[in-house]
Amino acid sequence: MKDIVVIGAGVSGCAIARELSRYKADVLVIDKCEDVCCGTSKANSAIIHAGFDAAEGSLMAKLNVKGNQMMDKLAEDLDIPFKRNGALVVCIHKEELPGLKELYDRGIANGVKELKILSKEEVLKMEPNLSDNVEGALFAPTSGIVCPFNLTIALAENAAVNGVNFQFDTEVTDIVKKDGYYVLKTNKGDIETRYVVNAAGVYADKIHNMVSNKKLTIVARRGDYCLLDKTAGNHVSKTIFPQPSKMGKGVLVSPTIHGNLIVGPTAIDIEDKEATATTKAGIDDLIGKAGLSVKNLPMRQVITSFAGLRAHEAGHEFIIEEVEDAKQFIDCAGIESPGLSSSPAIGEMVADILKDLMKLENKDNWISKRKGILNPSELSLEERNKLIKENPAYGNIICRCESVTEGEIIDALHRPIPARSLDGVKRRTRAGMGRCQAGFCSPRTMEIIERELGIPQEEITKSGGNSKIVVGRTKE
Partner 1 sequence: MRTVDVLIVGGGPAGLAAAASAKKQGIDNILILERDKELGGILNQCIHNGFGLHTFKEELTGPEYAGRFIDEVLKLGIEYKLGTMVMDITKDKVVTAMNREDGMFEIQAKSIVLCMGCRERSRGALNIPGYRPAGIFSAGTAQRLVNMEGYMPGKKVVILGSGDIGLIMARRLTLEGAKVQVVAELMPYSGGLKRNIVQCLNDYDIPLKLSHTVVDIRGKERLEGITIAEVDNTGKPIPGTEEDYECDTLLLSVGLIPENELSRNAGVEMDPVTSGPVVNESLETSIPGVFAAGNVLHVHDLVDYVSEEATKAGANAAKFVKGELKGAGKDIKINAVDGARYTVPRHICVENMEDILTVRFRVGAVFKDSFISVYLNDERVQHRKKNVMAPGEMEQVILKKDQLLSYPNLETITVKIEKE
Member of 57, 288, 298, 392 binding partner 1 (CB under 8 A): 392
What is the CA 56 to chain-centroid distance, rounded? Answer: 24
Among residues 150 and 461, whose Cβ is nearest to partner 1? 461
- In the complex, the smallest distance separating the C-beta of residue 413 from partner 1, rounded to whole angstroms, is 18
The mark string for 227-246 relative to partner 1 (x by CB under 8 A, - otherwise) is x---x---------------
One residue of 57, 248, 288, 443 binding partner 1 per CB under 8 A: 443
Told to judge if 208 belongs to the known catalytic residues of this protein, a careful annotator would answer no
Helix (H) or strand (E) holding 192: strand 189-198
Angle at CA of residue 199, ends 60 and 175, nearest 5°: 135
Contact between residue 374 and residue 388 where contact means Cβ atoms under 8 Å apart: no
Report yes or no: 12 and 335 within 8 Å, Cβ to Cβ: yes
Phi, psi of 343 (to 5 degrees): -50, -40
Question: Does residue 209 interact with partner 1 by CB under 8 A?
Answer: no
Candidates 10-18, 63-71, 164-172, 430-438: pick the segment binding partner 1 (CB under 8 A). 430-438
In terms of C-beta density within 10 A (0-12 exposed, 13-18 middle, 19 or more buried), how is residue 369 classed?
Answer: exposed
Chain residues 245-274 in contact with partner 1, contact rule CB under 8 A? 274
Contact 462, 419 (CB under 8 A): no
Q: Is-contact 29 53, C-beta < 8 A?
A: no
Identify the residue among 292, 436, 453, 455 touching partner 1 (CB under 8 A).
436
Burial class (CB in 10 A: 0-12, 13-18, 19+), 30: buried
Does 458 participate in binding partner 1 (rule CB under 8 A)? yes
Extended strands (E) in 10-86: 27-30, 47-48, 82-83
Taking CB under 8 A as the binding criterion, the range among 55-63, 232-240, 241-249, 462-470 that sits at the site for partner 1 is 462-470
Closest separation in Å from C-beta 468 to partner 1: 6
Which of the stretches 176-184, 342-350, 360-368, 434-442 binds partner 1 when contact is defined by CB under 8 A? 434-442
Instruction: Give the shortest CB-279-to-partner 1 separation in angstroms.
Output: 5
For residue 241, the minimal CB distance to partner 1 (Å) is 23
Task: Point out the catalytic residue in the list 49, 208, 235, 312.
Answer: 49
Of 169 and 317, the one with the shorter C-beta distance to partner 1 is 169
Work out how close the CB of 202 gets to partner 1 at its nearest, in angstroms, rounded to a whole number: 14
| Binding segment toward partner 1, per CB under 8 A, in 19-27, 189-197, 258-266, 443-451 | 443-451
In contact, 375 and 258? CB cutoff 8 Å: no
- C-alpha atoms less than 13 angstroms from C-alpha of 87 in its C-beta half-sphere: 29
Among 113, 249, 273, 435, binds partner 1 (CB under 8 A): 435
Site string for partner 1, 271-290 (x = CB under 8 A): ---x-xxxxx-xx-------
Binding region for partner 1 (CB under 8 A) out of 184-192, 238-246, 409-417, 435-443: 435-443
Task: Calculate the alpha carbon distances from 286 to 260, 289, 410 in Å.
Answer: 17, 5, 38
Nearer to partner 1, 359 or 473 (CB): 473
Among 111, 304, 321, 375, binds partner 1 (CB under 8 A): 304
Among 178, 246, 359, 473, binds partner 1 (CB under 8 A): 473
Burial of 190 (0-12, 13-18, 19+ CB in 10 A): exposed
Amino acid at 379: L
Task: Using CB under 8 A, pick the residue from 183, 358, 397, 453 that binds partner 1.
Answer: 397
What DSSP designation does 188 have?
T
Distance CA 271, CA 263 (A): 24
* Residues 305 to 324 in contact with partner 1, rule: CB under 8 A: 305-306
Minimal distance, residue 280 CB to partner 1, in Å: 5
Site stretch for partner 1 (CB under 8 A), options 72-80, 150-158, 177-185, 439-447: 439-447
Instruction: Report d(CA 470, CA 34) in Å as an integer.
Output: 18
* Per CB under 8 A, 468 contacts partner 1: yes
Count of positions (residues) in the chain: 476
Report the C-alpha gap between 175 and 182 in whole angstroms: 7
Asked if 451 touches partner 1 (CB under 8 A), the answer is: no
3-class secondary-structure state, position 287: helix
Q: Count of residues binding partner 1 (CB under 8 A)? A: 54
Q: What is the rounded CA–CA span in Å between residue 473 and residue 407?
A: 28
Torsion angle defined by CA atoms of residues 226, 231, 237 and 242, in that order, rounded to the nearest 10 degrees: -30
389 binds partner 1 (CB under 8 A): yes
Nearest-angstrom CA–CA distance, 212 and 191: 19
Interaction site with partner 1 (CB under 8 A): 226-227, 231, 274, 276-280, 282-283, 302-306, 381, 384-385, 388-389, 392-393, 395-397, 400, 403, 435-437, 439-440, 442-443, 446-447, 457-458, 461-475
* Catalytically active residues, by annotation: 49
